[in-house]
Amino acid sequence: MATAALNRTGSIVRKPLVDLLDNRNVLSVICMAPAAILLLTFLTYPLGLGVWLGFTDTKIGRPGFFIGLENYISLFDDSVFWLVVFNTLLYTTVATVLKFGLGLYLALLLNNHLPFKAILRAIILLPWIVPTVLSAIAFWWIYDAQFSILSYMLQKMGLIDQYIDFLGKPNNARASLIAANVWRGIPFVAICLLAGLQTISPSLYEAAALDGATPWQRFRHVTMPMLMPILSIVLTFSVLFTFTDFQLIYAITRGGPVNSTHLMATLAFQRAIPGGQLGEGAAIATAMIPFLVAATLSSYFGLQRRKWQQGESDG
């Protein structure tokens, strides 16, 4: 608008291209375009295609036809699908709670003045740095029915008579995989929360101490509210990662025994690629979206409520 006005006065003569680039609307479109194109090509398009495939009977090597909700209706009747939904929710809930409890505890410990603080912090990150497949293979050996180091030690100590069937019984297998996931996930939570802890101004603690606050009160009314914004972000990410976990399951149990450790991601893969039912696999993957959106919204908005951050109680 400004250039147009200048032109009318005739004091400055400009080329049309320059004029165009000076136009705020045009410029903003040009600047946004690369990001928008990236998002559309690499996020919106694949996501949209995935959702679309879920409404078709596409098979590997054969284009599909639109079949409406047939995949979903068929999944609704499939006991394995519901078992897998249950597994996924259980896996995500238990693993996330444990990761947060232990991760927060670890972050608080590391926030104290410890000797060799930097080295300790680096070591904590190790489980997260090791490629998942490697740690999965390590856990596969740890849980092995015949060669488990855990069983071996417990037996040598005289605590058990025969090797623990870590992966052979449904609930054992679920617990074992959750433990592996927690082990992998703690560092991420701990380091992020540690970063959050370090942004809390010491003066707040000093003020609280002057007011005679107990350590618990300081944690409850200073640390927690100040940590809430980063906590909510980390929680959101952690839920997303856990819900969509694939590698650990695939390397350790392939979803067995009797489908007790199959997650939605592994089932979607199993049916879509080795099974060739791309449409159904896409439908299972799409069925994850509502859960993910719900989990994200509740952890994000739930924890970001202002009241909490200001240290007020919920009620």
**Which pair of tokens denotes residue 183?**
């082990």
Contact (Cβ atoms closer than 8 angstroms) between residue 279 and residue 58: yes
- Find the binder of another protein among 91, 166, 183, 188 (CB under 8 A): 166
- Nearer to another protein by C-beta: 135 or 270? 270
Tokens 């009241």, residue? 307
Q: Does residue number 276 form part of the binding site for another protein (CB under 8 A)? A: yes
Q: How many CA atoms lie within 13 A of 267 on its CB side?
A: 28
Distances (CA, A) of 176 to 143, 157, 281: 8, 21, 26
- Find the binder of another protein among 14, 24, 62, 305 (CB under 8 A): 62
Q: Does residue number 229 form part of the binding site for another protein (CB under 8 A)? A: no
Q: How far is the CB of 224 from another protein (least distance, A)?
A: 41
**Which pair of tokens denotes residue 113?**
């003045």
- Find the binder of another protein among 95, 107, 167, 226 (CB under 8 A): 167
Report how many residues bind another protein under the rule CB under 8 A.
Answer: 37
- Find the binder of another protein among 3, 19, 51, 59 (CB under 8 A): 59
Cβ-based neighbours of 221, under 8 Å, separated by 6 or more = 208, 213, 311
Residues shown for the chain: 315
Contact (Cβ atoms closer than 8 angstroms) between residue 306 and residue 314: no
Cβ-based neighbours of 162, under 8 Å, separated by 6 or more = 155
**Phi, then psi, of 114 in degrees rounded to 5:** -115, 150
Q: How far is the CB of 274 from another protein (least distance, A)?
A: 4
Span 72-91, contacts to another protein by CB under 8 A: 74, 78-80
**Which pair of tokens denotes residue 251?**
């390397």
- Nearer to another protein by C-beta: 29 or 160? 160
Q: How far is the CB of 98 from another protein (least distance, A)?
A: 22
Span 296-315, contacts to another protein by CB under 8 A: none
Q: Does residue number 168 form part of the binding site for another protein (CB under 8 A)? A: yes
Span 121-150, contacts to another protein by CB under 8 A: 143-147
Q: Which chain residues interact with another protein by CB under 8 A?
A: 57, 59-62, 74, 78-80, 143-147, 162-163, 165-170, 173, 253-259, 270-271, 273-277
